[in-house]
Amino acid sequence: MKKIHLLLIKAFIRPFLATFFVVMFILLMFFLFKWIDDLIGKGFEWYTILELMCYASAANVAMALPLSVLLSSIMTFGTLGENYELVAIKSAGISLQKAMRPLFVVIIMLTIGSFLFSNYMLPKANLKFSSLLYDVRNKKLAFLIKPGVFNNSIPNYSIRVDAKDEDGTLHGIMIYDHKGTNGIPKVIMAKEGQMNKTTDGKFLVLELKDGVQYEEQSNTSGAYNPRQVLYRSRFKETAPKFDLSSFEMNRTDPNAFGNSTPMLNLKGIAKKRDSLTKQLDTLNRQSSRVASNTFKQFNTTKGYTKVKIAPIVIGEVTLKSIPNGSRKTAVDNASNIVSGMVQNLSNTVPRYDDLMGEIIFTRIEYQRKFTLAASCILLFFIGAPLGAIIRKGGMGLPVVIAISFFLVYHIITTVAEKSAREGNLNPIFAMWIAVIVLSPLAAFLTYKATVDSALFDVNYYKQFFKKLLRITQK
């Protein structure tokens, strides 16, 4: 019995690791395609891009882990069925449920690990990823000199070179200096030059040789002057400095993103939801107080007089019940009250919608911590019976079936989550609807695999339809 358990675990672990890393690689390529414009041409060190990819990989585990469990379970039992090893196991008196027990223990361990990962590690990875991606997207273009192209990366300067050697020597240099020239640039031209950084890395020193500098005197009067003064000076060597402080990527404090819901664990999400609920209650009380003050009755004299007056009956047209001299004042007062109510609602409703949206999102993220773990168990009980039924291993039919079922699961979850964020579904029901819908399917497939049903046998359906045609012909 122990040897069979070991055989099944080994047969599951190998395709699981292979499919997990393959899926992670594919998702990581999608990430690079999405953010390639923000990463290329900005002079990042290789370890910065690698760090960003590692944080992005942590966020992809939520999709890669369930798909790997489904795919590897189909491949494992499909290979066992194709090689008649599953038949040998059943002939030894071991049912399919007993054969699945050691793998179920492995899945339970993966489930616990995925829950701990999504509750403790994933929030920190999301926090680091968001702060680093923010810095990457807001970093200016690196100062890269390309021959024949004006480069405007350095503020107030435009630089162009005719040629650039491999050792960094520049030829045919032209620099337009717009700094403090009142719109008239200062032009510097040189035959060759060399770029170097200062020891502290804050300045770029461009050592120019055999050049000339042109500077036109600005006209302070604003009128056209045909006798404009032009200064020209030649130099053998000069070394202008360019400030590179705007090109440094300052790392943002990750705690600045710490209050975002995806960066919190269960305890943090519950605390934030309580805080948002209190803010919503305060907003509702304030709105109710303003509305009650608007519609209050002026009963200040009630109970202080014994004079009995018949109540005034107000008809459909309210203005007819108001004396002629007071009608304009009443209309103005009513208009002011309505304007105040509209102004109050215009300020309150957007804030109310924002708070409700945040509360719904916290409830969604709270349930997401558990649905990742539950999806691993669900997809295992779909994949293992499917593999035993189709009896096909390898990367052919099992991959197609696994991706089809995973797409169904993913589409249901995505659509339900979107509906919940729009307020059309309960967030708890929306996050668990895929599990609720697919659980009967998992139970049905497990039953069919237990009784050796020919659910995916094409010959079985051919024989069935042939019998059906014979019956109809008779």
What does the pLDDT read at residue 62? 79
Res 281 pLDDT > 60 = yes
- Residue 437 or 86, more confident: 437
One domain for residues 51 and 161: no
Judge whether 322 lies within some domain. no
Say how far apart CA 355 and CA 365 lie, in whole Å. Answer: 15
Q: How far apart are CA 129 and CA 123, in angstroms?
A: 10
Is 295 contained in some domain?
no
Q: Residues 105, 168: one domain? A: no
Whether the predicted pLDDT of 271 surpasses 80: yes
For residue 323, being part of any structural domain is answered with no
pTM (whole model) above 0.75: no
Residue 354, sorted as left (phi over 0), alpha (psi -120 to 50) or beta, turns out to be: alpha
Which among 49, 89, 19, 111 is positioned nearest to 371, based on CA atoms? 111
pLDDT at 170: 84
3-state SS track over the chain: CHHHHHHHHHHHHHHHHHHHHHHHHHHHHHHHHHHHHHHCCCCCCHHHHHHHHHHHHHHHHHHHHHHHHHHHHHHHHHHHHHCCHHHHHHHCCCCHHHHHHHHHHHHHHHHHHHHHHHHHHHHHHHHHHHHHHHHHHHCCCCCCCCCCCCECCCCCEEEECCEECCCCEEEEEEEEECCCCCCCCEEEEEEEEEEEECCCCCEEEEEEEEEEEEEECCCCCCCCCCCCCEEEEEEEEECCEEECHHHCCCCCCHHHHCCCHHHCCHHHHHHHHHHHHHHHHHHHHHHHHHHHHHCCCCCCCCCCCCCCCCCCCCCCCHHHHCCHHHHHHHHHHHHHHHHHHHHHHHHHHHHHHHHHHHHHHHHHHHHHHHHHHHHHHHHHHHHHHHHHHHCCCCCCHHHHHHHHHHHHHHHHHHHHHHHHHCCCCCHHHHHHHHHHHHHHHHHHHHHHHHCCCCCCCHHHHHHHHHHHHHHHHC
297 is a domain residue: no
* Least trusted range by pLDDT, from 297-301, 354-358, 408-412, 460-464: 297-301
Same domain, 97 and 166: no
Phi then psi for residue 189, to 5 deg, are: -125, 140
Amino acid 119: pLDDT:
83
Poorest-confidence range of 25-29, 37-41, 178-182, 351-355? 37-41
Same domain (yes/no): 164, 107: no
Is 439 exposed, middle or buried (CB count within 10 Å of its CB: 0-12, 13-18, 19+)?
Answer: middle
The reply to whether 7 and 110 lie within a common domain is: yes
Question: Which pLDDT score, from 0 to 100, does residue 142 have?
Answer: 43
**Token couple for 103:** 């793998």
Residue 134 shares a structural domain with residue 165? no
In a domain, 341, yes or no: no
Model pLDDT, residue 111: 87
One domain for residues 114 and 214: no
Least confident span in 245-249, 281-285, 393-397, 468-472: 245-249
Residues 170 and 114 in one domain: no
Establish if 6 belongs to a structural domain.
yes
Please write the tens of the pLDDT for every residue from 444-463: 888 877 776 666 555 666 67
Same domain, 16 and 133: yes
Q: Do 347 and 251 contact (CB within 8 A), yes or no?
A: no
> Given phi > 0 = left and psi -120 to 50 = alpha, else beta, which region is 172?
left
Looking at the predicted structure, is the pLDDT value of residue 15 above 80?
A: yes
Q: Is residue 304 part of a domain?
A: no
The pLDDT assigned to 141 comes to: 46
Total domains in the fold of the chain:
2
Q: Tell whether 443 and 368 lie within a shared domain.
A: yes
Q: What is the pLDDT of residue 48?
A: 75
The whole domain housing 460 covers 2-139+364-473
The overall average pLDDT reported for the chain is 77
Nearest to 456 by CA among 404, 379, 378, 380: 404
In a shared domain, residues 131 and 201: no
Q: Is residue 131 part of a domain?
A: yes
Are residues 11 and 114 both part of a single domain?
A: yes
Evaluate if residue 282 carries a pLDDT over 70.
yes
